[in-house]
Structure 1
Amino acid sequence: MRAEDITRIDSEAGVIASLVYHPEFSFYSENLLPNHFFNKENRYIYAAICNLAQRGVQHIDPYSVFGKLKVQKKGSKSA
């Protein structure tokens, strides 16, 4: 594996796709943090999926991720 392979958007998308189907995998990725994602959109999606999994959500879909992102955005405005 080359260093540039880690920052490829398709590599990041693969991690996110895995978590969509298996959100419980996020419990085994404590060393992978949102700021490790090169693409900022992937960073936010990863954080949202991990948060949903921590809350016990077992079915991740675009609506639940979008809803989480929307709540996080509102929270950041009021902070």
Structure 2
Amino acid sequence: MKLFQAMAYFISLVAVLVSLIAFSVTKHHVYLYMGLGSVLLIAIYTGYFRRRIRKQFNIRVSISELAFSNKVFKQITAY
């Protein structure tokens, strides 16, 4: 599964780079739109797997959210 996911990221990254290089050479906007669409696709793909892993391992709070909540809690109790 990890190999498939890594291949998908690599192919998506190559597609974005090729689209942006093609846009810079030809100045046709369709290549820019393909690059932006690929970035959006990567974001959706990454979010899907992140949500799936959080659900599989029953992760409720991320580390950054926990650190932020502790920081806010310390500020509130300091007053």
TM-score if structure 1 supplies the norm length?
0.26
Larger radius of gyration: 2
